[in-house]
Chains A and B, each alone.
Chain A
Amino acid sequence: MSAPDSAIRQTLANANLQLAIYSNTGRLKNHRSKAVAPDRFPEYQDLRTRAAAIKRHTLAFLDVYLLQLEHAVNDNGGKVIWASTGEEAADFIIQLAKDREANLIVKSKSMTTEEIHLNDRLAQHELETVETDLGEYILQLAGQRPFHILAPAIHMTRHDVAKVFNEKLGIEHDTVIENQAMTARRVLREKFLNAGIGITGANFLLADSGGVVIVENEGNARLTLSAPKIHVTVAGLEKLIPRARDLPVFLDLLGRSATGQPLTSYTSIVSGPRRNGELDGPEEFYVILLDAGRTKLLADPEMRESLQCIRCGACLNACPVYRKIGGHNYPWVYSGPIGKVITPQFQGVEKDPWLPFASSLCGACAEVCPVKIDIPGLLLKLRKEIVQANPEDRRYFRIWAWLMQRPGMYALAAKIGRALMGFNIGPLAAWRSERDLPAAPPKSFRDLWKQRKK
């Protein structure tokens, strides 16, 4: 499959969308910069190193930590469900909903559930699933995919929202943002209080205490995991960290990297159903541990670090390519630099072989990654793998390598090349489609040097 050229062209030509993407990611980027500035947060680089080390360690001994988590969740009265595939995870939830006659389900934002198309699968069984994160709720009504890991509706304006609410909720067209948010509060409050099951993702899973950690600003996750009788967490295997005491390192990095906040409005740590005497909280508690290809990434020691990702979105906000093409032009649910790296690994490099090449390797992503994932390095490894399987440019590089080892031949070939620069062939045409090409200088440096020496 080749790059979605015409879709990209449309995105680039849409001035409003370009402004929305660039300014919104720019704002998040600036908030992050301020929050991690050395005078404000001197321990930033040290914490990055530690967080990367903790994640690396956890992944290296993941079998142990998974078992520890299961044990702790069981001790707390909850249950761990192991799902090899997204289908298994969805099937469990469907069966549970049917057994408990829970036809209304509320969800807080979870990229993992997007990944496994959970909502679509639940809908096939006549289970009403309502997204409760404001951005996700709007998208659900509009029938769209998330545009950004953190700010899913970053591409929509108040006018877009007013239209969606008017069309899908039958309310009067209102472009005042505060009113739009209050509409969502009102509509969703009723869902929270009547839902039979609340489904969340997890930012972290604490192996020692069996804790599910969820970080948010709205309060919809708190309601999702507290109001309904059943709480189900769907989390990838890679979400584990060893201990609750490791949390401050990650929380300090997550909020600042994502939005520039030292802490978001709510950080929930939950495990198990309500204890004896507690007056509210779920009566049943499940953690679905999802593989769905993660063990494949785990098995590749060079690529394994991609599983360190804590889904902060900083790489998206820093990426000059993402800031132009936006989340919908990436083939999978995970967009931005991390998406470029994990999509080929989960789906196979042959599915979208253009993806790892759609980068200038500028390194802005690696600079901001709180867990020090070397995204450019991983992209280079993927490129190597892709051309090994499909070396379409190999003959050009063979010729190039032959020339570059023979300075006399190189100089001659380059002279010919310079003479042809005025023509609009191949890559020269591609270059000129977007910008001018300078006239070739009459003499090369080596020509000038030779002259000088005379």
Chain B
Amino acid sequence: MDSREAILERVRNALGRKLGQKPLPPPEPLLRVRYETADAKLTLFRAQLNGTLTVVPDAAAAGNAVEKLLDGQSAVASDHPFLQACGIPNIPGVTANPEDLRNTCATAGVGITSAYCLLAETGTIVLRACPQEPRLLSLLPPIHIAVVPLDRLLTNLDEMLSMTPRPVDSDSSAMVLITGPSRTGDIEQMLVRGVHGPGAVHVVIVLGKTPPL
């Protein structure tokens, strides 16, 4: 008997269950969805975000805000349509959707992405892997900037999961919830930022109408 069958049989025997026996349904999932106004969410997000938050009135202003944040550093940006709408690829020093993604990310000073959504209650940026948003972009460079339309600001993870019950599926291999910079307390419990992931996180939220994602 191979291990698969052996393990399943041991499990069933341990539980006194038969092959094919129907289970009881699981307890109802608890999703604490709290609806807040956009203003309330912004206030909450600003308070919770471990990083800087810039709120801008429109896409053009977003481009300016990012340029300011870059402060002359080289950056790599994703191919996300929202970043294009904000003119991010046109900012001097920004390489959008580079040929050699890995090396560009490994040497860039800043990584610029959009986001799948933001979570106000915890100051979280949610990224979902897709052709326009590679994983390493928000991970290798020492600084991460996320440019996101306001309507992607949700209240909490429960709300996100009630809208997206399958965080990973045929469309996406990975979702990551980013709550603040990379950090460690492994040596004498002293906090150090930017151990492996970015040491600083900046979010730019864009008000006004968004092009559909």
Residues of chain A whose beta carbon lies under 8 Å from any beta carbon of chain B: 20, 24, 27, 43, 47, 50, 53-54, 57-58, 60-64, 66-67, 75-76, 82-84, 88, 132-135, 138, 151-154, 156-158, 161, 177-178, 180-181, 184-185, 188-189, 192-193, 208-211, 217-220, 222-223, 225-227, 237, 242-249, 251, 259, 261-275, 277-281, 285, 289, 291, 295-296, 298-299
Q: Please give, as numbers and ranges, the residues of chain A lying within 8 Å of B209 by CB-CB distance.
A: none
In the complex, what distance in Å separates the CA atom of A192 from the CA atom of B135? 14
Known: A63-B8, A279-B131. Is A226-B136 also a contact (CB below 8 A)?
yes
Chain B residues contacting A272 (CB-CB under 8 Å) are 168, 173
The answer to whether A209 touches B174 (Cβ under 8 A) is no
9 examples of A-B residue contacts, CB within 8 angstroms: A57-B26, A60-B23, A61-B23, A63-B11, A66-B8, A84-B7, A218-B196, A245-B162, A281-B173
CA distance A178 to B190 in the complex (A): 9
Given A245-B29, A248-B30, A248-B157, A63:B15 Cβ within 8 A: yes
B212 to chain A, nearest CB (A): 19
Given contacts A237-B7, A244-B165, contact A219 B173 (CB under 8 A): no
| CB pair B129 A244 closer than 8 Å | no
Closest residue of chain B to A136 (Cβ to Cβ) is B186
Q: Does B74 count as interface, using CB distance less than 8 angstroms? A: no
Given A222-B135, A262-B122, A266-B178, do A243 and B188 touch, yes or no (CB 8 Å)? Answer: no
Specify which of A24, A193, A285 is in contact with B106 (CB 8 Å cutoff).
A193
Q: Is B72 an interface residue (CB 8 A)?
A: no
Contact A156 B161 (CB under 8 A): no
* Interface status of B177 (Cβ within 8 A of chain A): yes
User: Quick check: B27 and A53 within 8 Å, CB to CB?
Assistant: yes
**Is the pair B136, A227 in contact by a Cβ cutoff of 8 Å?**
yes
Q: Which residues of chain B have C-beta atoms less than 8 A from A67's C-beta?
A: 8
B8, B11, B24, B173, most chain A CB atoms within 10 A: B173
> Would you give the 0/1 interface string for B131-154, flagging 1 where the beta carbon is closer than 8 Å to chain A?
100111001000000000000000
Q: Whose C-beta in chain A lies nearest to the C-beta of B105?
A: A280
**B196 and A58 form a contact (CB under 8 A):** no
Q: From known contacts A177-B188, A247-B161, A298-B15, infer whether A270 and B174 are also in contact, taking CB-CB under 8 Å.
A: yes
Q: Is the CB of A268 within 8 A of B175?
A: yes
- Mask for B163-207, Cβ within 8 A of A = 1, else 0? 001111111111111111111111111101011111000000000
Instruction: Contact check, A211 vs B168: say whether CB atoms are below 8 A apart.
Output: yes
Given contacts A61-B24, A272-B168, A217 and B182 within 8 Å (CB-CB): yes
Q: Of all chain A residues, which has the CB nearest B98? A: A279
How many residues of chain B get a CB closer than 8 Å to chain A's CBs?
Answer: 71
Residues on B facing A (Cβ under 8 Å): 2-4, 6-8, 10-15, 17, 23-24, 26-27, 29-32, 101-102, 106, 121-122, 124, 129-131, 134-136, 139, 156-158, 161-162, 165-190, 192, 194-198
Q: What 3 A-B pairs come out closest when comparing CB atoms?
A: A219-B197, A277-B131, A299-B14
From residue A251, how far is it (CB to closest CB) to chain B in Å?
Answer: 7
Further contacts, 12 of them, CB under 8 A, given A134-B186, A281-B174:
A24-B188, A82-B7, A158-B187, A177-B187, A222-B139, A245-B29, A245-B161, A249-B29, A275-B130, A275-B171, A281-B134, A295-B10
Contact A185 B131 (CB under 8 A): no
B169 close to A76 (CB less than 8 A) = yes
Shortest distance from the beta carbon of B122 to any chain A beta carbon, whole Å: 5
With contacts A218-B197, A223-B139, A243-B29 taken as known, whether A263 is within 8 angstroms of B124 at the C-beta atoms is yes
User: In the bound complex, what is the Cα–Cα distance between A220 and B139 (angstroms)?
Assistant: 10
| Chain A hits for B174, CB < 8 A | 225-226, 268-271, 281
- List the B residue with the shortest CB-CB distance to A89: B3
A203 to chain B minimum Cβ distance, whole angstroms, is 13
